[in-house]
Amino acid sequence: MSTAGESIIDQIADRCVEKCQDWAWFMEDLTPGKAQAFMIQHSIRNRLYSASWRPAWMSRCPDQAIVRKTIGQMLEELVYDDNIQAAHTKILWEMGRNVGLTDQQLNDAAPTPIVDLYCNIQENLCRNRHWIIGWLATSIDEFVLVALNGKQETNMSYQKWMKDLGLTEEQLFFFTYHEQADLEHAGKKVWRPLQKHVTSEELAADVLAGLDTALNAATLFYKGVSELGDQLDAAGASLIAA
């Protein structure tokens, strides 16, 4: 007899791959403005992942293996990653400089109105919905990067930044390293433990409904990045810092 959780991983994966095709910035040509816009808005999202959203759902997660793995991920993001002897935020700021941003611009970053809407949806999903929904909401971007790796070109691939912007692989260490790190943080095998926690058809339906909300919220995030990128390009964005 099949259980409610048996097919849910495949359903989650299929919905993510299908919906990401609607993520505006994700599939567009990169320009200096589009690159800067992503780094500005992602710097906000990156902080909220570890400072607010992941702690919110982890506080209700009964699976200590999932909690410990997620805390380890947060440690690498904000404090220290043994492999690079620095926090991931350090290489994020370095990437910002490589596309013409100053540290002050990243330190003072504010969400666009659409990205602010995305942030509030994420907060609600992580704090008020089932913890599984929070886990999915904070890892769908990483999953998509892994799922499409080698199959479809996106703006999360360092090769795309090399091709469209003429940056070197050395300048794109933030992306090359994260492509490898995300293999450990996302993907079907990483989400597999949630199967045993989906114990009813009602919960399975709730998880998929929450996932749909998270995917729609991600659409808003990338739309906000794209629109900001257009504004920065119109203002004369350059890869060389002013």
**Residue at token pair 């703006």:** 155
What end-to-end distance do the CA atoms of the chain give, in Å?
Answer: 64
Q: What angle do CA 144, 74, 218 make, to 5 degrees?
A: 35
Taking 3-state DSSP, the helix, strand and coil percentages for the chain, each rounded to the nearest 5, stand at 70, 0, 25
Is 28 within 8 Å of 155 (Cβ atoms)? yes
Residue-level pLDDT at 16: 97
pLDDT digits (tens, 9 = 90+) for 171-229: 999 998 877 766 666 678 889 999 999 999 999 999 999 999 999 999 999 999 999 99
Residues of the chain where predicted confidence (pLDDT) is lower than 50: 1, 242
| CA neighbor of 69 nearest in space, from 171, 154, 191 | 191
Radius of gyration of the chain (CA): 18
Residue-level pLDDT at 185: 60
All domains in the chain, ordered by first residue: 16-234 (1.20.910.10)
Is 72 within 8 Å of 5 (Cβ atoms)? no
Q: What is the pTM of this model?
A: 0.95
Q: What angle do CA 172, 184, 181 make, to 5 degrees?
A: 15
Residue-level pLDDT at 146: 85
Residue-level pLDDT at 178: 79
